[in-house]
Structure 1
Amino acid sequence: MARGNTRQRIQDVALELFAEQGYEKTSLREIAERLDVTKAALYYHFKTKEDIIAGIFEDLTRPMDELLAWAAEQPRTLETKQEILRRYQKALLAAAPLFRFMHENQATVRDLSIGLTFKEHFLALNEFVQEPDSSVKDRVRSVSAIFTLHAGTFFTQNAEGDPEEQQEAVLEVALDLIQQAHRA
């Protein structure tokens, strides 16, 4: 638990418990017990599990919002597209615990509409790495560059080998795809 303040500690512990035993089977009481705080202390920060997930989602997707704002101000050059992919990979890696939660609790994610927001982020990001007049193949290359980062983030979590080396390889493949799409 690297993050320091109480609110962040609650979110981190809740995400750990959700991963261990599932969202539905985790109670606020269990979260409070794991933190060694009273339920009232927990309520001070979050009234429900949904509030905890919404807070986690907001915190971990803020870098994505910042990336989209930054990208909107940049010229549509190959260098910009490459930097978008580099920054996106960092945001994905930082949000890995949330993605694990989303994958393992898909029904809950649908109910909380978190998945829709990720889809919106993805589509917006794709607009910044894709040229409007691109061929079908180049549009596929652009979207594949983003999917490569997603797939690579999940693939490397349980793969053997050096995680840093794996992430570098994932980024290199994504950058190759975007370069091919831009060149054409």
Structure 2
Amino acid sequence: MDSRRTDTRERAVGVALSLFAQRGYTATSLREIAEQLGITKAALYFHFRTKEEILTAILRGYLDGINALVVDAARPLTADGQEALLRGFAAHQERWGLDLVMLVRQNYTEIHGLPIGAEIKSAMRSLIESLSPEGAGPEQRLRVRLALSAFQIAAVTASIEDDGDEATLRASAYPIALEILRGGKPV
């Protein structure tokens, strides 16, 4: 694939992510995505035949990052390894930003109806397992889920309240998430 085609494809994914987050997946048309890109709908068809293909490309990018984190995590996970994995997840969430959180939140049914929806669920289960101590029970796995949710809550809070910008709230989320993982013991 030449670099110009790759660039247009990547820009289309970014524009679609923003539009899907703002307007919703079903309310956004291929024409609107093409207009935002400054190309024709026919030119967009060269890269993506359907909106579902664009949505899948967005989610594939996110999923690939989660899978890479899980693959890189050493087992058994030490305290340092747990911190590194959580920091990696925080960076991954920051890269994807509020738009992905809003996309998933507003389009949960559509996303989980796609084949990639099952892959994302599986990847998140693997991430939770990777962050959980060996033999963890339901309480510890819930702590992991709550810790991971801290980054999404920070992004959403920044968009609806005047508690600070998203970057500041995300930075604050890391020590809170780590404290949750460690059973309420401050870091």
For residues 165 and 99 of structure 1, do their structure 2 counterparts lie closer, same or farther at Cα, with a shift above 3 Å needed? closer
AA aligned to 1:76 is L
Q: Distance in 1 between matches of 2:38 and 2:151?
A: 37
Aligned to 1:16: 18
Is the 2:101–2:152 contact (alpha carbons within 8 Å) kept by the matching residues of 1? no
Once the 2 structures are TM-superposed, how far is the Cα of residue 167 of structure 1 from its aligned partner?
1.5
Q: Distance in 1 between matches of 2:86 and 2:65?
A: 13
Equivalent position SS for 2:182:
helix
Matched, 1:147 2:177: no
Q: Distance in 2 between matches of 1:101 and 1:136?
A: 28
Give structure 2 stretches of 5+ with no counterpart.
1-5
AA aligned to 2:85 is I
AA aligned to 1:51 is E
Partner deviation per Cα, 1:145-174 (whole Å, 9 max, x = no partner): 223333333333433214333222211111
Q: Distance in 2 between matches of 1:92 and 1:61?
A: 11
Give structure 1 stretches of 5+ with no counterpart.
none
Match for 1:7 among 6, 9, 12?
9
Is the 1:141–1:181 contact (alpha carbons within 8 Å) kept by the matching residues of 2? no
Aligned to 2:44: 42
TM-score by length of 1: 0.82
TM-score by length of 2: 0.81
Aligned to 1:61: 63
Partner deviation per Cα, 1:10-65 (whole Å, 9 max, x = no partner): 11222232233322222212222222212221111101000111111112322211
Q: Which moved more, 1:157-166 or 1:35-44?
A: 157-166
Q: Distance in 2 between matches of 1:87 and 1:7?
A: 26
Equivalent position SS for 1:5:
helix
For residues 21 and 131 of structure 1, do their structure 2 counterparts lie closer, same or farther at Cα, with a shift above 3 Å needed? closer
Aligned to 2:82: 81
Percent of matched pairs sharing the same residue: 30
Superposed counterparts of 1:123-138, under 5 Å: 123-134=125-136, 137-138=139-140
Once the 2 structures are TM-superposed, how far is the Cα of residue 136 of structure 1 from its aligned partner?
5.2
For residues 17 and 79 of structure 1, do their structure 2 counterparts lie closer, same or farther at Cα, with a shift above 3 Å needed? same
Aligned to 1:26: 28
The alignment's C-alpha RMSD in Å is 2.4
